[in-house]
Chain A
Amino acid sequence: DAKTTQPTSMDCAEGRAANLPCNHSTISGNEYVYWYRQIHSQGPQYIIHGLKNNETNEMASLIITEDRKSSTLILPHATLRDTAVYYCIVRVANNAGNMLTFGGGTRLMVKP
């Protein structure tokens, strides 16, 4: 699985958009970008994933650059409940290993 690089921490004002970047310059053509988040001491929660097209769901939007070497997770109107560690994971969807490998993630602090 490709390695990802994320900032260690970020702050965001409540009600504003939170833009969380992720670099994955060694991504392969068949690797997807997944985003999960972990609110303090809870189990990680799936947010969104994509291959090359931008994706949007009820939680967030995922913007993947044309060369697929980086992506941005966007929380359009961050709330205090969005304070969490956000993990960007790049992996092949159907690889035999199957497990998710979590890096350090970005600790997002949403402030009032």
Chain B
Amino acid sequence: DSGVTQTPKHLITATGQRVTLRCSPRSGDLSVYWYQQSLDQGLQFLIQYYNGEERAKGNILERFSAQQFPDLHSELNLSSLELGDSALYFCASSLTGTGLGYTFGSGTRLTVV
């Protein structure tokens, strides 16, 4: 157990729908990062939050949004889902914003049918 909790582990939904992925960071970590990994593809950085505020944005679609709550857990919202959104979504956390010692969760596997 890495200490980063992601729920749900698996999600199957239809095109056009909206889903929410949840991430609880490791205790004490202030930064949360979201990554997308499509089948046999690399890890693509989506977005980072630090202590409740957006810190950096990567290749995140406009249909996707995220937030980090006062208790530091984060949610990634994916809307108007398309088949191509099927992927593993990973959350990582770190203590500071420096990126040292990233800890990744086990991911949410999203399947859009």
Q: Give the interface of A toward B (CB within 8 A).
A: 36, 38, 41-46, 49, 91, 93-105
> Is B99 in contact with A44, judged by CB distance below 8 angstroms?
no
Give residues of chain B (95-110) contacting chain A, Cβ–Cβ below 8 Å.
97-107, 109
Please tell me if the beta carbons of B100 and A102 are within 8 angstroms of each other in the complex: no
Q: What chain A residues lie within 8 Å of B35 (beta carbons)?
A: 102
B55 at the interface (CB under 8 A from A): yes
- Measured CB to CB, the closest approach of chain B to A50, in angstroms, equals 12
Inter-chain contacts of B104 with A (CB < 8 A): 43-45
A104 touches B42 (CB 8 A): yes
Counting chain A CB atoms within 10 Å of each CB, the highest count among B58, B97, B101 belongs to B97
A94 touches B98 (CB 8 A): yes
Contact A98 B56 (CB under 8 A): yes
Closest to B104 in A: A43
Whether A99 lies near B58 (C-beta < 8 A) is: yes
27 pairs of residues in contact across A and B, judged by CB atoms under 8 Å:
A36-B102, A41-B107, A41-B109, A43-B2, A43-B104, A43-B105, A44-B43, A44-B102, A93-B99, A96-B97, A97-B56, A98-B31, A98-B50, A98-B55, A98-B56, A98-B97, A98-B99, A99-B33, A99-B45, A99-B48, A99-B58, A99-B99, A100-B45, A100-B99, A101-B45, A102-B42, A102-B43
Count residues on chain B whose CB falls below 8 Å from chain A CBs.
29
Chain A residues contacting B4 (CB-CB under 8 Å) are 43
**Interface membership of B19, Cβ < 8 A:** no
Considering the chains assembled together, what is the distance between the CA atoms of A100 and B91 in angstroms?
A: 12
Contacts of A44 in B (CB 8 A): 43, 90, 92, 102, 104
Confirm or deny: B88 has a beta carbon within 8 angstroms of a beta carbon on chain A. yes
A79 to chain B, nearest CB (A): 20
B37 to A: closest C-beta gap in Å: 9
Min CB distance, A94 to chain B, in Å?
Answer: 5
Residue of chain A at shortest CB distance from B55: A98
In the docked arrangement, what's the CA distance between A54 and B8, Å? 40
Complex CA distance for A105 and B43, rounded to whole angstroms: 10
